[in-house]
Amino acid sequence: MADSVAVEDQKFCLKEVLNTFKLCLSENKEVYLEHYVAGWRGLIKFLNSLGSVFGFISKDAVNKIQILVNHMNDENGSQYVTVQSMVKYELENELVDLTKRGSHPESGCRTLLRLHRALRWLELFLERLRTSKEDSKTSVMCAEAYNESLSQHHPWVVRKAAGMAFCMLPGRLSFFEVMNVGQPEQVVAMLGEALPLISEVYQITEDLYAQHNLLELP
Ligand X SMILES: CCCCCCCCCCCCC/C=C/[C@@H](O)[C@H](COP(=O)(O)O)NC(=O)CCCCCCCCCCCCCCC
Q: Where along the sequence are the contacts to ligand X (CB under 6 A)?
A: 14, 43, 46-47, 54, 56-57, 60-61, 114, 118, 121, 142, 146, 150, 158, 162, 169, 179
CA angle in degrees (0–180, nearest 5) for 7-170-126: 90
CB of 46 to ligand X, least distance (A): 5
Amino acid letter at 4?
A: S
> Considering beta carbons, is residue 75 or 113 the nearer one to ligand X?
113
Looking at the chain, how many residues does it have?
Answer: 218
> Considering beta carbons, is residue 39 or 82 the nearer one to ligand X?
39
Q: Which residues pair with 31 in a beta bridge?
A: 25
> Considering beta carbons, is residue 30 or 127 the nearer one to ligand X?
127
CB of 3 to ligand X, least distance (A): 26
CB of 113 to ligand X, least distance (A): 8
CB of 91 to ligand X, least distance (A): 19
Rounded to whole angstroms, the Cα distance separating 156 from 99 reads 22
Cβ atoms within 10 Å of 163's Cβ, excluding its own: 15
Amino acid letter at 199?
A: S
Largest CA distance in the chain: 54
> Considering beta carbons, is residue 40 or 89 the nearer one to ligand X?
40
